[in-house]
């Protein structure tokens, strides 16, 4: 009688060699999850949106240095975040640059980046690379059934209801401001309660 959609989402990869191999060994897709492992170390954040700049600000509190690598000169992030990042002494910027390869055999020891303006490369001596180039919700199955937002996430209300009666969504697949296990579990509890209420009324 009811369906709860909770297929999750996955972080968009950089698509550079050995990224999969070094995930968990210096490559991370969640600054709040893994940032504390890089205390007093130099790291890079790849991306130019709100998440990337927010991650850089968060990491700057305990990392020795944070370099934001962004493929453009202008940021998609909110201007207030960018301006704040520019005032933090240990945040640096590598603009109009893209990651090209990872340095290190068993652990990240550096990130090679390439300038989109002149093609020159340089190696950032970092121990961690935080990837913040977007999230892809796993909504292919229901894209023509329930309403999605511009990012492809399922739109719900606070009761986890979608536009379809009896259909709910929970976790990273929906329009949530925070993608963490704790919030996904909470969404699941709300969705289950809503589904039970729907069944009892129908």
Provide the annotated active-site residues. 30, 33-34
Q: What is the 3-state secondary structure (H, E, C) of the chain?
A: CCEEECCCEEECCCCCCCHHHHECCCEECCHHHHHHHHCCCEEEEECCCHHHHHHHHHHCCCCCEEEEEECCCCCCCCHHHHHHHHCCCCEEEEECEEEEEEECCCCCCEEEEEECCCCCEEEECCCEEEECCCEEECCHHHCCCCCECCCCCECCCCCCECCCCCEEECHHHECCCCCCHHHHHHHHHHHHHHHHHHHHHC
Give the C-alpha separation, 186 to 178, whole Å.
12
Q: What is the dihedral of CA 17, 18, 24, 30, to 10 degrees?
A: 10
C-beta of residue 30 within 8 angstroms of C-beta of residue 55:
no
For the chain, first and last CA: distance in Å?
A: 9
């Amino acid at each position: 009688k009811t369906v709860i959609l909770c297929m999750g989402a996955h972080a968009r990869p950089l698509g550079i060699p050995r990224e999969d191999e070094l995930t968990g060994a210096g490559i991370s897709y969640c600054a709040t999850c893994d940032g504390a492992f890089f205390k007093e170390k130099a790291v890079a954040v790849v991306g130019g949106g709100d998440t990337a700049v927010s991650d850089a600000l968060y990491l700057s509190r305990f990392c020795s240095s944070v370099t934001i690598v962004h493929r453009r000169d202008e940021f998609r992030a909110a201007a207030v975040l960018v301006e704040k990042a520019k005032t933090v002494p240990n945040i640096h910027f590598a603009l109009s640059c893209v990651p090209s390869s990872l340095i290190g055999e068993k652990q990240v020891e550096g990130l090679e980046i390439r300038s989109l303006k002149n093609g020159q490369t340089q190696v950032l001596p970092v121990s961690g690379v935080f990837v913040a180039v977007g999230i892809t919700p796993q909504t292919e199955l229901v894209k023509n059934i329930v309403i999605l937002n511009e990012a492809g996430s399922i739109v719900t209300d606070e009761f986890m209801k979608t536009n379809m009666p009896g259909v709910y969504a929970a976790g990273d697949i929906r329009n949530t401001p925070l993608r963490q296990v704790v919030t996904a579990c909470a969404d699941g509890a709300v969705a289950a309660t809503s589904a039970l209420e729907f069944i009892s009324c129908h």
